């Protein structure tokens, strides 16, 4: 049973929210301790989730201090907060901390929302170079990625072809080769990206979707420019 649950999680779990939503945010992996992976697998099974589930429903069961990101007083989660700031500007909303907290608590990654939060790799990790990984996994992280990455890319490509969201924002330049491969496969072409002259922003607009590649929202390169990026994307959508 354990191997079955693990296989299902590795092969199908993508993230949180509504795949029919207009706004998809795709990162390399979910943030969190690597020792919590088994618990996350069991919750995914308990929720009878396949590719997606409601982020609050998941964290109610996870209950590892993460409800503070949803319940008053709402603590902003660093990655979500940065993505929400881009989302707000992209939708033409005026920035405010209270509005950002409201979106994080009630909208971002919710099953009835217009957003979908996806991770290329299925396991949570403290960072891309997680020094504690080997304490909690028999398989080295580099081997885990090598074993699953091609299959996960194909899974994500197929989902993007199926749902054709309005915007897909890929974040983390550490995975830029993977993001470009996914985009090329979705549109069935080797695309030419527009490189913004002043922002860490690559973009390509197909008939149905604006594809964007930018830095991780917690990166120092993103300080003070997330709203600017969002307004630039709003312009590209016009």
104 within 8 A of 70, measured Cβ to Cβ = yes
Q: What's the pLDDT at 58? A: 97
Bridge partners of residue 169, in order along the sequence: 25, 212
* Tens digits of residue pLDDT in 75-125: 999 999 999 999 999 999 999 999 999 999 999 999 999 999 999 999 998
pLDDT band at 1 (very low <50, low <70, confident <90, very high): low
Q: Is the pLDDT of residue 128 over 90?
A: no
Mean pLDDT, the chain, rounded, equals 95
Mode of pairing for the β-strands spanning 52-53 and 194-195: unpaired
User: How far is Cα 234 from Cα 128, in angstroms, rounded to an integer?
Assistant: 30
Number of domains forming the structure of the chain: 1
Q: Is the pLDDT of residue 206 over 90?
A: yes
Q: What's the pLDDT at 3? A: 86
CATH number at residue 61: 3.40.470
Nearest Cα neighbor of 159 from 189, 116, 111 is 116
Q: What's the pLDDT at 137? A: 84
Domain with 172 in it = 2-237
Averaged over 186-206, what is the pLDDT? 97
Q: What's the pLDDT at 226? A: 98
Q: Is the pLDDT of residue 2 over 80?
A: no
Tokens of 13: 């779990």
Question: What is the reported pTM?
Answer: 0.96
């Amino acid at each position: 049973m354990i191997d079955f649950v693990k296989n299902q999680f590795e092969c199908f779990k993508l993230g949180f929210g509504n795949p029919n939503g207009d706004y998809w945010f795709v990162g390399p992996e979910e943030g969190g301790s690597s020792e919590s992976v088994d618990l996350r697998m069991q919750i995914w099974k308990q929720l009878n989730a396949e590719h997606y589930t409601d982020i609050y429903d998941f964290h109610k069961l996870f209950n590892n201090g993460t409800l503070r990101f949803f319940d008053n007083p709402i603590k902003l989660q660093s990655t979500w907060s940065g993505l929400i700031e881009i989302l707000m500007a992209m939708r033409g909303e005026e920035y405010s901390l209270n509005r950002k907290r409201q979106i994080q608590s009630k909208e971002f990654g919710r099953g009835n929302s217009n957003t979908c939060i996806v991770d290329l790799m299925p396991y949570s990790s403290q960072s891309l170079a997680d020094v504690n990984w080997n304490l909690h996994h028999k398989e080295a992280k580099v081997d885990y990625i090598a074993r699953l990455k091609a299959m996960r890319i194909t899974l994500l490509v197929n989902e993007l072809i199926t749902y054709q969201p309005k915007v897909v924002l890929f974040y983390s330049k550490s995975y830029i080769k993977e993001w470009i491969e996914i985009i090329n496969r979705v549109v069935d072409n080797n695309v030419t990206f527009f490189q913004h002259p002043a922002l860490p922003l690559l973009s390509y607009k197909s008939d149905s979707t604006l594809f964007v590649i930018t830095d991780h929202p917690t990166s120092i390169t993103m300080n003070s420019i997330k709203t600017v990026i969002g307004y630039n994307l709003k312009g590209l959508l016009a």
